[in-house]
Amino acid sequence: MKVVETEIEGVIILEPSVFEDVRGHFFESYNKRDFSKYLPNLDFVQDNQSFSTYGVLRGLHFQRGESAQSKLVRVLQGEILDVAVDLRTESKTYLQYVKAILSDENKRQLFIPKGFAHGFVVLSETATVLYKCDEFYNPQAEDGLRYDDPKLNIDWGIDESSLIINRKDLEYQFL
């Protein structure tokens, strides 16, 4: 597995070793022993999976307080633009973000530590996204930021008229 550092401390891209032959391919998407070399004391407790069509934007979501979650995001089918926004007020990269293209072809995974808002937009016709979390979902701790917050100025990579966003995500406040 290759670990790619990003411009924001703690957010990393993981590129698995892929073994291909006439049958197809094989790779380990998660191995606790190997991951603990890079992410010690991390214990995933919940897997979440979503299926979306082109233009669906999910986010920017996060959990507050004790329910804050680290996430390991990957795409089982399709392609997304994944975004992690640093909400750690003590961080030198506060309100900066990392973007990564994740797809079933590149097999990249994005690790997002606690203290970040997370969202993605589907770039392919459809996409199935799987992410592991190190804390259980708590509806009372759920929160979010507007995807189009002018202070963040995120370029989602597709025309705004193509975006499909649910009402709840549109009701989040600007910073």
Closest CA to 116 of 130, 97, 131: 97
CATH architecture of 2-170: Sandwich (2.60)
SS3 38: helix
Residue ranges per domain, the chain? Answer: 2-170
Residue 121: predicted pLDDT: 98
What local confidence, expressed as pLDDT, does residue 173 receive? Answer: 92
pLDDT value, residue 16: 87
| pLDDT value of residue 138 | 97
Condensed to tens digits (0 to 9), the pLDDT of residues 17-57 reads: 899 999 998 988 888 888 888 887 889 999 999 999 999 99
Return mean pLDDT, the chain.
95
- Over residues 101-111, the mean pLDDT reads 97
pLDDT surpassing 90 at residue 108:
yes
Per-residue pLDDT, 35: 84
Mention every residue, 6+ apart, whose C-beta is less than 8 A from residue 5. Answer: 12
- Spatial distance between the Cα atoms of 133 and 71, rounded to a whole number of angstroms: 5
pLDDT band at 6 (very low <50, low <70, confident <90, very high): very high
Quote the percentage of the chain above a pLDDT of 90. 85
| Nearest CA-CA partner of 105 in 62, 76, 72, 146 | 76
Answer left, alpha or beta for residue 110, where phi above 0 means left and psi between -120 and 50 means alpha: beta
Tell me the whole-structure pTM to 2 decimals: 0.94
DSSP-derived letter for residue 8 is S
Give the whole-number percent of the chain exceeding pLDDT 70: 100
Predicted pLDDT at 32: 86
Whether 69 and 114 have beta carbons less than 8 Å apart is answered as yes
Question: So which residues are the catalytic ones?
Answer: 61, 131
